Every structure is written in C-alpha cells, then in structure tokens.
Chain A
C-alpha cells in the first residue's frame, strides 16, 4: 500500500487556526469593531491631519497668528486659535500624534522588558524564578506615578527619558502574565518534543512558548497604551511631561486649563479628543481580550 495513497478515513471537519477563530469572534463584537475604527481614524488623523489642515488654511501646528488670538471656532479655524493664534485643530491633532507616540513607544519598552523578564523567570523556574518574582512584588509596592515624577525631576527632561520612565514602571504586570503562561506551557508535550529535537532554550522560548502568550500580551498592550497616555497627561499637568516644544494632548490640556475662564475651547478640544481616544482604546482592548479568550482559543 503506497503511503502516497489518499487516506480513506472519516470526513474531516475543516477547523481553522485559532487566529481565524479569534478574528471571527472579534468581528461579531460590534462595539469592538466600532472602537477599532475610531482608533484607526484617530491614528490616521494624527498622522495626516496637520498636513491636511495646512492644505486647508495654511496653518502648521506651530504657525503663529498673533493678530488673531483666542479666536472662537470659525470656518477658517474649525477649533479656533490659542493664546498665540495657532490653529487649535492642527495642534490638537499633532498633540494626538505625540500622545500616541508616547503610548506606543513606552508600551513597547514595557513589553520588551516584561516579556523577557517573565519568560526567563517562568522557563528556568526554581530559585531564579523566585528571586525574580519577589523583585517584581517589591516593585509592585512602589507607587509608579511617584517613581516617574521622581525620575523626571532628577534627570534632564527629554523625550527618551520619558519613554523609559513610563515604560519602566509598567512592565510588571506583563512579566507576571508572561511568566504564568510560560509556566503553564513549559510542561506540554510539544515542548518536550522540541527539546528532544535539539531545539535550544532560546528557540523554545521564542518559537513555542511566547507565540502562545501573544494573546494576553496583545490584550495587555491595548490596555496599557491608554493608561500610559493618561499618565503622561497627568505628568504634563505637573509640568513634567513631554518637554517643550513637543506638545502632547496633556500639555495642551494643561495650557487649556489655565485659560479655562477666558477661552474654554482650549481645554475642551484636547480634553474631548483625549477622552474619545482613551475610551475607544479601552473598548478595543476589551474586544481583543474577549476575542482571544484562551478557553476558546486552543484546540486540543
């Protein structure tokens, strides 16, 4: 009997990959899809928006208009102008860009730290794991915003330091999640099989264990980004956020707060934009988590 002969066995139900399943689940969740569209729209607007505004009325985000300060929304300036006559719409969209950049880069840093830390602790286990996780527990007890404030106040304020400070204070939960996943997976048969096939520890971690943790990592990342953006806004109110001249939504909001009795649009525009962005991101994160729910994700 040639092995190449087709097998005459029972009809096989076409079961697709876990990723396709997850996508279908996500697709069915209306709120998540809408949120995803909003987030995508905001990202697009923050990237292309200032350029489009320039085409529309000639104002860049830092073009002064000293003859037309604190103007109300009008056809020329859809959001009005600020204390130096700069177009508020352009500034608000640019602010989104900066806030998003802070959110993404810091989250990336926190992911890199958290994933490496958690996977090493979970895979090697034993004393190393204990020491590493006790350290995490100690760090958990420290108030993270306070740490960031201290870091920003001690050293020269720069964008890079802000990324590091925010990223370095949010990797803890990622580390715990990844460690948990790695712990539960490292005794699976396919891990043994891979080891029997001579795959190195790094290879096992990277190819067999981590890809299975991507689900929770993605969920956590989509929820970390808005919390970092909010954290940066809080820092900006303390004067410790993104250093000038870059202005995030937080910086715009704190400038707007000073002018609240005189020209509330300065606060309302960035505030509302930030609220919409954060809300959609949170909904999106929820939707992703529901879609990647491990109970339905693994097919054994």
Chain B
C-alpha cells in the first residue's frame, strides 16, 4: 500500500506493446476517398441545439463555424482579427466606441480588416433575405436574455451584464445599428480582446425573421437560413446531420466541400471503428481514447496539435485543510507533472502554471514566496521542499479527499497523483468518483472537501478566457480576489499586445501566489484525419475550418 513507483523498467521491450499484432500500416484503416466533395466528420455526441444563444457548449460548437458567419474571423496563422461579416472598423480615442462596417457598406471608413475584399456585396441569408446590422444587434440582445442563462462572453459590451442578470432592458445594450451595414458598439471599458470575442459564433447574427416566424423550432432543416458557408439540409437526431454548401455565402466560390455529414458518436471505441472502416474521414480533438494512442503513434494520419485548454485541479480554499496556502504550495511542489504528460502521451505539455503558453503569452516561470524564514520557488517540482512546507502547515499524516468525474482519463490521472502524493508527501488520498453532472454541481457549490478535478477549455484563445472561470466563480475553488479582478481589467484595457501579455502574466502571478488551483498540463487535440482530406486546419480551440476544407478525390496510397 505504499505506492512507490519502482524503477524496474523492462528495458528494450518498449513501453506499450500492441495487443492486436497487426503490421504497422502507415494509415489507420483503409483510405479510399469518396468520389464527391463530401466530408464525413465525427461529432462528440448529439448536439443539444444549433442555436448559439441556447447552447451550453456541447458538440454543436464544432458545427457553428459551418453555419454562422461571425462579425470577425481570425487569421489562420497569426490569429489576428480578420474580416468576417465586417470589413472595416473604426475605434474612437477612448477605445470604447467601435464602429463596424459590414459587407455591403458603400463607403466604409477606418481600418481595413485582413481579407476584406475591395468591393463587398451585401450579405444575404441562404433564403435570400439580407443580413443587416440590425440582425446582429437583435442576436446579441437575444443571447443576453436571462432565459438562455449565463452569457459572459458579451459582458465587455456596455450594459450587457445588467441585461443578462435581468436588471436592464435589452434596448439599453451598447450595440446600435446605424443603417443596414453599420454597427456601433459601445464597450464598458477598453477591452483589447473584444476582437477575439467577435470571432465567436455566439456573437454571430441569427436570422431574426426566421426566429420570429418559427420560434424555438427555427433550427430545423429547411427552416434555418444560414449566412455561413453551409446550410442545414438534414437532421436525423442521433444518426446524422447533413450540411450543404450555401450558394448565397459571400465567399461561396472559395468553398470546396459540397456536403458535410456529421455523425454524433459518444463512444470513443465506436468512433475508432468507424474511422478504420472509412465511415468517417475525420473527427473532433478528443475523439481518440487514450488507450489507443500507442497503437496510432507514428501513423501518418494521426495528429496532435496544441489546444487552448488547461487541465488543473482546484483546492477548496474555504474549508480545511486547504484553507492553508502553505499546504497548497506543498501539493503543487510535490506533483510531478511530467510523469502525467508522459503517461498521457498525446502531445500534452506538462504545466506548472495555469495559462497555456500559446499565442505570444510569456507565462510565469518561477514564483518566490517567503515562508518560515526561507524563500521557496513554489512553481518548481521539489518533493523535499514540499515535505518541509507540509510540516510547516502541520499537516503530517494527513488524509485528503479527492473528487473526480467518472471519465476514464480522470480516474487514471487521479490514481497516478494519489501514488505521487503518497510517495512524496506521505499523505493518504481518498478517491471519490462522482457522476459528471454531480461533479459540476459539487464544484460550483463548493460542497466538496479537499481537491476536485476542474480544468477548462476556454471559449476563446486568450488568457482572459481561462481567467473568466475564476472571476465568475465557477472554477470550484472559492478563491475571490478583487485586486486580481482590477488587475485583469487594467490588462485588458491595454491594446499593445506585448504589453497586454506582460500584464496578463502579472495577473497569473498573482493568481499563482494564492494557488487556488493545481496545474497539471496543457491539453492537446488528438485526432485522425484521412490523407485525402485537406485544408481542415484546427485552431487552438479545436474547431474545424470546414470552409477551407476539401477532398482529394484522386488520392491514392503511395
């Protein structure tokens, strides 16, 4: 029962042997391209809804980029804001008034966004109705309706939070249509990352006329006009969703795929079988069950790309024993995150901080804290120091509760950490597995003791996206720091990217000093993609770019 990790490694036999001793094919399964530009994509389960306002973040987030054209898009490499529905923008000196000029505006002024055409046509819905700035305003007002729950993404807009909390009328929103192609947005305070927010589907316009006409069932095939590259053609629940190319899309000529079939698959092993048999061509970034990774390594159709997703645990800072920050430092320093990343072996990056080191973010690399007359770098992995801190926190021989949801990866990581903490700190860890829905509740209500699995994928690829969890108190640690929130606001008012990133790092340093969370790794997307599929880049959020995708129908194996 003393959980030590022995060094007995059987050398030469390699870490993982394949049980199914097939010859190592370069590609997993057969690879026969279809004869038409039809892509089959595996979704992470049946989408809850295709209405962005009503979505709680399910598999539909992979579908939205195909059906909606948001205000802005992102440059595929630099992630800088690029043209979407808007082609130009103008910002006032106080940096709180932004005027967006939509396609079809005869005389746009201000800065031109990357990818904006010389002369733009008025955008149309797939049923021929024009897309106007009014659609955008109404969509935003609608998604802030308290009926749809919490929508923090729009909060930088003036009065957005108050409307979402039911304290203000929708008409008071800081977004006004000034003509069919002009959108005036008033921000609460200068917000540098608003342009990143404007690329999200939740900020894309929904067809007002369809919503008014059909009510909640407007997202049905045939009734759902789209202003994105594809239109909803068919939806058989739990079977498949079929999208067809939208001929009225402003860049329709540059969209190669004619049809997309989306298959909702909940079980990882089933997805693997479908892919192997050529029944799906590619999949979302969490589709590969961890057990399969060793068997897929080295194959040409297996990809791992970094994700804007941080896997961390939260301490319940409101109850003993983790109300003592020294103990939190001790656990952080006793954790070998490299071992966890090595175990997962799916392109994850071991982390000693919370915010992924992506997109120009410098991060925090060491943090000196003074305690007991000594100075400690609480971000390092230092078991002897951890034991010392444990002793100072008077927590020797402690028994700690650890709660995690019933997902495979969660259990295994929990067991690894249990062994680590037992070996490095001498603490006994009691594992408790709970249902996913119960887990969310327990974390939100802080009704657990000890440590709980938290972790987050951000809604947008920016440090604030992860900080949002802490400021909106849904992280599960109970840590509250008004000073942190002020610091964050100041950082987000900084429009110079480098300066802003530095200021955000200072925010993270402040957060890490309080150590409400125990970082483990920055996640990655693991997926398979048939060799005849091209152009389907995945951004840091993992959303597939269907509009640039194409099929090489003449592809043959070499």
A residues with CB within 8 A of B: 57-60, 62-72, 74, 76, 83-84, 239, 243-245, 258-259, 261-265
Complex CA gap A172/B64 in Å reads 56
- Please name 5 pairs of A and B residues whose Cβ atoms are closer than 8 Å in the assembled complex, sorted by A: A66-B416, A72-B17, A74-B13, A245-B418, A261-B20
Query: Quick check: B342 and A265 within 8 Å, CB to CB?
Result: no
**Known A64-B419, A65-B8, A66-B343: A262·B411 in contact at CB below 8 Å:** no
Known A62-B419, A83-B291, A84-B412; judge A71-B19 contact (CB<8 A). no
Tell me the B residues contacting A by CB distance below 8 Å. Answer: 1-10, 13, 15-20, 269, 272, 289-292, 294-295, 339, 342-343, 406, 408, 411-412, 415-416, 418-419, 430-433
Q: How far is the CA of A58 from the CA of B2 in the complex (A)?
A: 11
Given contacts A66-B5, A244-B433, 16 further A-B contacts (CB under 8 A): A60-B2, A63-B5, A67-B15, A68-B8, A68-B10, A71-B17, A76-B10, A83-B291, A243-B432, A258-B269, A258-B289, A258-B291, A261-B269, A261-B272, A262-B292, A263-B19
Interface of A is mostly: loop
CB A198 to nearest CB in B, in angstroms, measures 54
With A63-B4, A63-B5, A83-B291 already in contact, the answer to whether A244 and B431 are too (CB < 8 A) is yes
Q: Is the CB of B1 within 8 A of A62?
A: yes
Chain A residues with CB under 8 Å of B15's CB are 67-69
A153 → B minimal CB distance (Å) = 9
In angstroms, Cα B6 to Cα A60, docked, is 11
**Are the CB atoms of B10 and A265 closer together than 8 Å?**
no
Q: Tell me, rounded to whole Å, the shortest Cβ–Cβ distance linking A74 to chain B.
A: 7
Residue of A57, A64, A66, A83 most packed against chain B (CB within 10 A): A64
Within the complex, which residue of A66, A76, A243 is in contact with B339, where a contact is CB–CB below 8 Å? A66
Q: Within the assembled complex, what's the spacing in Å between the Cα atoms of A59 and B9?
A: 12
> In the complex, A263→B289 CA distance in Å?
13
**Shortest Cβ distance from residue A241 to the other chain B in the assembled complex, whole angstroms:** 11
**CB of B208, distance to nearest CB on chain A (Å):** 44
A63 in contact with B6 (CB, 8 Å): yes
Q: A246 — nearest CB in chain B belongs to which residue?
A: B431
| Contact indicator A68/B412 (Cβ below 8 Å) | no
Q: Are B433 and A262 in contact (CB under 8 A)?
A: no
The interface residues of chain A lying within 8 Å CB-to-CB of B431 are: 244-245
Closest 7 CB pairs of A and B: A67-B9, A263-B19, A64-B419, A262-B291, A70-B16, A245-B431, A244-B431
A9 to chain B, nearest CB (A): 67
A-B pair number, CB within 8 angstroms: 96
Measured between alpha carbons, how far is A53 from B459 in the docked complex, in Å?
A: 49
Residues A58 and B411 in contact, CB atoms below 8 Å apart: no
Residues of B within 8 A of A262 (CB): 18-20, 291-292, 294-295
Chain B residues near A74: list those with CB within 8 A.
Answer: 10, 13
Answer whether A264 and B5 are a contact pair too, CB < 8 Å, given A74-B10, A258-B291: no
CA distance A63 to B8 in the complex (A): 11
B6 and A59 contacting across the interface, CB-CB below 8 Å: yes
User: Chain B residues with Cβ under 8 A from A72's Cβ?
Assistant: 17, 19
Docked Cα-Cα span, A60 to B419, in Å, equals 12
Q: Which residues of A contact B294 (CB under 8 A)?
A: 70, 262
Given A84-B415, A243-B433, A262-B291, A68 contacting B9 (CB threshold 8 A): yes
- Complex Cα–Cα for A58 and B9 (A): 12
Decide: B16 and A69 in contact? CB cutoff 8 A. yes
Indicate which residue in A59, A64, A67, A264 contacts B415 across the interface (CB closer than 8 Å).
Answer: A64
Which residues of chain B are within 8 angstroms of A264 by Cβ–Cβ distance?
19
Q: How far is the CB of B293 from chain A (nearest CB, A)?
A: 10
Chain B residues contacting A263 (CB-CB under 8 Å) are: 17, 19, 291
Q: Is the beta-carbon distance between A64 and B3 smaller than 8 angstroms?
A: yes
Q: Is the CB of B342 within 8 A of A66?
A: yes
Q: Report the Cα distance A235→B432, complex, angstroms.
A: 17
**B335 CB → nearest A CB, Å:** 14
Cβ–Cβ < 8 Å partners of B408 in chain A: 258
**Contacts of A258 on B, CB cut-off 8 Å?**
269, 289, 291, 408
B412 near A71 with CB under 8 A, answer no
Interface pair A64/B19, CB less than 8 Å apart: no
Cα–Cα distance between A84 and B412 once the two chains are bound (Å): 7
B339, A239: Cβ atoms closer than 8 Å: no
Within 8 Å CB of A265, what residues of B?
A: 19
B17:A65 contact, CB within 8 angstroms = no
Q: Complex: how many Å from CA A84 to CA B342?
A: 11
Give the chain A neighbours of B291 by CB distance below 8 A.
Answer: 70, 83, 258-259, 262-263
When distances are taken between beta carbons in the complex, the residues of chain B under 8 Å from A259 are 291
A84 and B416: CB pair below 8 A?
Answer: yes
Q: How far, in Å, is A87 (CB) from chain B's closest CB?
A: 10
Least distance between B401 CB and chain A CB atoms (Å) = 12
Contact A63 B3, beta carbon cutoff 8 Å: yes
Docked complex Cα distance between A83 and B20 (Å): 16
Q: Which of A58, A71, A239, A243 is B6 in contact with, Cβ under 8 Å?
A: A58
Which residues of chain A are near B419, meaning CB under 8 Å? 62-64
**Complexed CA–CA distance, A67 and B8 (Å):** 8
A contact residues around B5 at 8 Å (CB): 63-66
State how many angstroms separate the Cβ of B49 from the closest Cβ of chain A: 27
B415 to chain A: which residues have CB within 8 Å?
62, 64, 84, 245
Q: How far is the CB of A268 from chain B (nearest CB, A)?
A: 10
